[in-house]
Amino acid sequence: MTSPHTIVFDLDGTLVDTAPDLITALNHVLDREGLPPVPMASARNMIGAGARKLIERGLEAEGRTVTPADMDRMTADFIAYYADHIAVESRPFEGLEAALDHFSAQGHRLAVCTNKLEWLSKRLLDQLDLSRRFAAICGADTFGVQKPDPTIFRETVARAGGAVKASIMVGDAGTDVGVARRAGVPVIGVSFGYTDVPIAELKPDRLIHHMRDLPAAASSLMTA
């Protein structure tokens, strides 16, 4: 058995398929601005850098720009709507809970490090009955920095009671690979998430296509 590690997960597109509810919230905001909805398929890869960036990308798709004040208003509208509809269709990716069970049985710590706001992250995980599995759930506002700034990763691991030198990042996008590289830890990429650059092109240390493959990928990094 390997020594206990801290397995740190991104949230959107890694732990949970949140795209349906995020895009519904985006389209709610666009509709209130008199704009057409963005299609689910093309909008998935807009996700991953927070609510404000998602709205900016949605507006860009329509060739629109807005003032900072309008963006503030639209972001607040988005968050209010999303908070009330956060787990209508969002579900854990297939195989996730079995993977988490495996890690817990092996004595590893689990944590969430996301660019989603902390309270929204906890609300989502609460509604999916997943919060209890994680020793720390940290978001973009928890420490005042976002991925790929390594501070958010290091502080998340510390809050979970772990050590950075015995930790692994799991994520779906460039911010996840970037935070791992800057923190000096290995990273497992998942191919089923949300990213405008295919995760394979970002050269994670391991690449998986289903959560059933996560325990073996993590074990190979722990013993490398």
What residues are annotated to the active site? Answer: 10
Q: From edge to edge, which strands make up the β-sheet containing 136-138?
A: 136-138, 109-113, 6-9, 167-171, 187-190, 206-208
- Annotation-wise, does 12 bind a ligand? yes
**Residue 108: closest CA among 183, 212, 206, 3:** 3
Structure tokens at 95: 């195989």
- Annotation-wise, does 172 bind a ligand? yes
Rounded distance between C-alpha atoms, residue 171 and residue 169, angstroms: 7
Neighbours of 166 (CB within 10 A): 16
- Annotation-wise, does 10 bind a ligand? yes
Rounded distance between C-alpha atoms, residue 1 and residue 10, angstroms: 25
Known binding-site residue numbers for Mg(2+): 10, 12, 172
Known binding-site residue numbers: 10, 12, 172
